[in-house]
Chains A and B, each alone.
Chain A
Amino acid sequence: MTGGTSTTAAGLAEELAAGAVTSVEVTQRHLDRIAEVDDRLHSFLHVDAEGALEQAAASDARRANGEALSPLDGIPIAVKDVLATKGLPTTCGSRILEGWVPPYDATVVARLREAGLPILGKTNMDEFAMGSSTEHSAYGPTRNPWDLDRIPGGSGGGSAAAVAAYEAPLAIGTDTGGSIRQPAAVTGSVGVKPTYGGVSRYGLVSLANSLDQAGPVTRTVLDAALLHTVIGGHDPRDSTSIDAPLPDLVGATQRGAEGDLSGVRIGVVKELGGEGYQDGVLARFQESVDLMVAAGAELVEVSCPHFVHALATYYLILPAEASSNLARFDAMRYGLRVTPEGDPSAEDVMRATREAGFGDEVKRRIILGTYALSSGYYDAYYGKAQKVRTLITRDFQQAFEHADVLLSPTAPTTAFKLGEKVDDPLAMYLNDLATIPANLSGVPGISVPSGLADEDGLPAGVQILAPAMADDRVYLVGAALEAILLDKWGGPLLDQARGLDELDHRTGTTA
């Protein structure tokens, strides 16, 4: 049928343009799907059915007048709850922001509205984007559509699960150390972390300002390119935004989709693989590399020796910046306020509120960051981490002299079981081993599905990294790999998702 929830955004765009379906119909179907499955998946923290349908009706009216605002006008989208949405609750997955309704839109959200995309709601996430499983959400975990007992990745597990379970054709995620790419890998979807500064951070509630980047969460590379084109580009409200036009991402995707990689040098990063990586993940990765070589790519092995320090570096810079960013949650102006008994001072109220409002992982990182910035420790920790960061950037520069793109598995394992690592922070942190270097040096990356691991039948992802501002390259190579694998599989990987069958079986609907 037309306008179905399994149709890609690009497909819906064609159907809307042809008048085969209306935005109200498309939006309603996704709202219905959310109503059917989200009590079990919990991708959403807030659904705005009324607002989405109003925006859809407005889109249909525009289209009737021949005034569509963009190729994606009328296609509904889900937004990670870390982006400020005017009039819609924004909690960042935290109790401390429960009930906060921002008086303003993040630039990304404003651009979605300007392009005519109805906003379905806000998606679940690890509290303040700290985590790799969405289990650190104060509002309960999101489940993986492939297996409801497993995690959907994190921190943007809600956005990834929403697109993988056909609750939304498109979603916005944010990626500070892998929070778009790792959930994409473990849910069999596509996620892009743009070049740092390529998408405005204005209105994105900061986790680590020098690492955060918003980007597309979709089921196909083309959908990601279409969405990236809508949200990307210079924003004077974000001083770190790049004042240069975006490359032609859709064009690069279309070229890539022809499946010809002749003349493209693909570099496999020696340090991102091997020990700590699941066999099935490595097997799918090797298969992808082989298929790309068969499609004409030239394989080079590159070494990035400082990547082994990336995790340690990240866990100094991130908590340092986060400890300062999160200081503003003090009960004085918005959000939760806990007033202790007796005659409390302002400081007593701040202390009680932060004690009650932040979860353990957030407190852990505030303590780490406060320590790393302390007088006498700054040089040894934060200062040293910034130096290593420079070395990691140099590693990238040298690697990109030999290769046009760099490849690795996106995450070392497939989705693990809910609760398996929640009490072991270090094991949790290892999920982002391969994705963190890109954030530390600001380069763009995409995760595309590479197939299912033999041992557990769960999806894995390939990460493709390119030099800063060469986002078009990740789309070109990503689209090529996607096309080659679709050929091999005979259809989208998500068609094999068992958890979806379970959801559909129980609800009696079909996607």
Chain B
Amino acid sequence: MNAELMPYDEALERFDPALGLEVHVELNTASKMFCGCPTEFGAPPNTQTCPTCLGLPGSMPVVNRTAVESAMRIGLALNCEIAEWCRFARKNYFYPDMPKNFQTSQYDEPIAFNGWTDVVVEGPDGPQTVRVDIERAHMEEDTGKSLHVGGATGRIHGADYSLVDYNRAGIPLIEIVTKPILGTRELVPLVAKAYVAQLRDLLLGLGVSDVRMEQGSLRCDVNLSLAPRDVGSESDGAGRHALGTRTETKNVNSLRSVERAVRYEVQRHAAVLTSGRPILQETRHWHEDTGITTSGREKSDAEDYRYFPEPDLVPVAPDREWVERLRASLPEPPHERRARLQAAWGFTDLEMRDTVGAGALGLVEETIAAGASAQTARKWWLGELARRANETETDIAALGVTPADVARVQALVDEGAINDKLARQVFDGLVAGEGTPDEIIAARDLAIVSDEGALSAAVDEAIAANPDVADKIREGKVNAAGALIGAVMKQMRGQADAARVRELVLEKLT
């Protein structure tokens, strides 16, 4: 065990964790937040830019109405109040990937505020509902993207030179900030993960974002602090808890990492505090590969963004009729959706919790919509693909396997074109990016051999090679057929229909 970390259970005995999550969501609007440039992911660098998102002298922003609508829908889905009047502000700081050297963002007048959402986690005594209070959801623009070339780390330090791609500059972002989440004790990593998973499902349901964590369209910052139990468990009489100094771990960009980063910071904070040192208020970097956080820049009061209202924009004042129309058109809330889907799919409570816990609810739903049965969809996602995601430490949604792929694989199994064993090889191909299921089957030559002549010859060969077994079957010991079937399947590299092989064996020997 790392000396800098305290065992998790011991940390929880001594401290109460307080969690806060800041999630940045890239909206999937066709154009940017303040100009008409397209927002397509992965276009050649600096091809989706104009005077405004490049911050050229004289250019001016115009608010994207669809982005405002998306922001309000997110706010409403999180049970927020929607501002009757709010403004954008300038957040001033210098950075090469920020074209104007200020970010146009909302500051003290967010479009949505005071909301909540309930998440369910598996506690020691069964499922437990935790209410996460939402402080605010506000609109802002993304920055450009720096690419540091040369040097060992790909970070700016030690790089030979840097390139900046402004395609991302001006993409609409919604930042969703929770209030401190208190009293979740040892469940805190699970709550963090469940909240982000729920947010992802909710955003997918709203259709406002692609929510692809691996592409950065949902980015999570984890705020964590510990308070000694003897203080932290007491409220101050007004229901407030004394909070410890927090750290902000930036860009934790998978569900699995959210859970791991929270757990890591709990253990690290506990070790630091127990040794008598203070926790520095700082930003920290999460390292997906090593599973640790390291110190970023110290965040002190010295950081002064000199916010002031953006004078190039007029206030956003959504009329109430618009708000109510959006409220009426919201998709069903997550808990109702879960209940409905569980009933429709006939899942047990455990199956449902596993599905939600793996972040696979939407994936299963889409797979069923693409034609698979509920149980087969669950089987592949939770049996096969969740295991692979764990093994490779990636998000299940980022494996490279789509719901349509899974439905197609199952359809091929149902047709008898492949069997489950071959299906796993198809998934290997999908994860490796080898193409569609049908292309992979063709390229890897995975189809079941249905040529009767070849099968018959293989069976004859197996009988000849195993005369003892053949005799037993002839004597009526039908169970012995398994050995011959196995031999045939082995010879056929698994690509035979086992039921048909059995029929042939029995035909020939009885």
Q: Which stretch of B6-14, B58-66, B178-186 is in the interface? A: B58-66
Which of A210, A237, A329 is most buried by chain B, counting CB atoms within 10 A of its CB?
A237
- When A236-B62, A327-B102, A346-B96 are in contact, do A373 and B57 touch as well, CB less than 8 Å? no
Smallest CB gap from B97: residue in A:
A332
Would A327 and B62 count as touching, CB distance under 8 A?
A: no
| A375 touching B304 in the complex, CB below 8 Å, given contacts A239-B314, A330-B94 | yes
Q: B59 contacts which chain A residues (CB < 8 A)?
A: 104, 202-203
Answer yes or no: B92 CB below 8 A from chain A CBs.
yes
Decide if the interface of chain A is mainly helix, strand, loop or mixed. Answer: loop
Number of interface residues of B (CB under 8 A): 30
CA distance A210 to B304 in the complex (A): 23
Q: How many residues of A contact B (CB 8 A)?
A: 44
**Would you call B308 and A320 a contact (CB within 8 A)?**
yes
B94 CB contacts on chain A under 8 angstroms: 327, 330, 347, 350
Whether A373 contacts B306 in the complex (CB less than 8 A), given A324-B90, A330-B94, A333-B54, comes out as yes
A84 CB within 8 Å of chain B? yes
Contact in complex: A92, B57 (CB < 8 Å)? yes
Instruction: Give the chain B neighbours of A206 by CB distance below 8 A.
Output: 58, 312
On whether the beta carbons of B306 and A375 are closer than 8 Å, the reply is yes
- The smallest beta-carbon distance between A133 and chain B, in angstroms, is 23
Q: Which chain B residues border A329 with CB–CB below 8 Å?
A: 57
B60 near A201 (CB under 8 angstroms)? Answer: yes
B56 interface residue, CB < 8 Å from A? yes
The answer to the question of B101 belonging to the interface, with a C-beta cut-off of 8 Å to chain A, is: yes
Q: Which of A18-26, A95-103, A154-162 contacts B (4 or more CB under 8 A)?
A: A95-103
| Minimal Cβ-Cβ distance residue in B for A106 | B58
Alpha-carbon distance between A298 and B71 when the two chains are bound, in angstroms: 55
List of B residues within 8 angstroms of A106 by Cβ: 58
B90 touches A100 (CB 8 A): no
Contact with A along B302-323 (1 / 0, CB 8 A): 0010111001111000000000
What is the 8 Å Cβ interface bit string for chain B, positions 50-94, against chain A (1 contact, 0 not)?
A: 010011111111110000000000000000000000000010101
**CA A483 to CA B110, docked complex, whole Å:** 54
Residue pair B60, A239 in contact (C-beta under 8 Å):
yes
Q: Mark A362-395, 1 if CB is under 8 A from B, else 0.
A: 0000000010011100100010000000000000
Residues of A close to B306: CB separation below 8 A: 323-324, 370, 373-375, 378
* Contact across chains for A238 and B60 when beta carbons are under 8 A apart: yes
Nearest A-chain residue to B314, judged by Cβ: A239
B480 CB–A CB distance under 8 Å:
no
- The answer for the CA separation of A399 and B102 in the assembled complex, in Å, is 39
CB neighbours of A97 from chain B (8 A): 57
Q: Give the shortest distance, in Å, between B315 (CB) and chain A (any CB).
A: 10
Cα-based distance from A452 to B51 in the complex (angstroms): 45
**Which residues in window 288-342 of A have CB below 8 A to B?**
320-321, 323-324, 327-330, 332-334
Q: B-facing mask of A162-206, CB < 8 A → 1, else 0? A: 000000000000000000000000000000000000000111111
The residue in chain B whose Cβ has the minimal distance to the Cβ of A92 is B57
Q: Which of B57, B304, B311 contacts A209 (CB 8 A)?
A: B311
A240: CB under 8 A from chain B? yes
- B88 to chain A: closest residue by CB: A239
- Nearest CB in chain A to that of B302: its residue: A375
- Decide: B308 and A378 in contact? CB cutoff 8 A: yes
With A and B bound together, what is the CA distance between A281 and B59 in angstroms? 39
B468 at the interface (CB under 8 A from A): no
Chain A residues within 8 Å of B307, by CB: 373, 378
Whether, in the assembled complex, A83 has its beta carbon less than 8 Å from a beta carbon of chain B, the answer is: yes
Asked if A239 and B99 sit within 8 Å, CB to CB, the answer is no
B491 CB within 8 Å of chain A: no
CB-CB nearest 6 A-B residue pairs: A327-B101, A209-B311, A373-B306, A203-B58, A210-B311, A205-B57
Chosen A-B contacts, 12 in total, with CB atoms closer than 8 Å, are: A100-B57, A201-B60, A202-B59, A203-B59, A209-B311, A239-B313, A320-B308, A330-B101, A347-B94, A375-B304, A375-B306, A378-B308
Given contacts A84-B57, A102-B58, A373-B308, 16 further A-B contacts (CB under 8 A): A102-B56, A206-B312, A209-B312, A238-B312, A239-B61, A323-B92, A323-B306, A329-B57, A330-B94, A330-B101, A332-B96, A332-B164, A333-B99, A334-B57, A346-B162, A370-B306
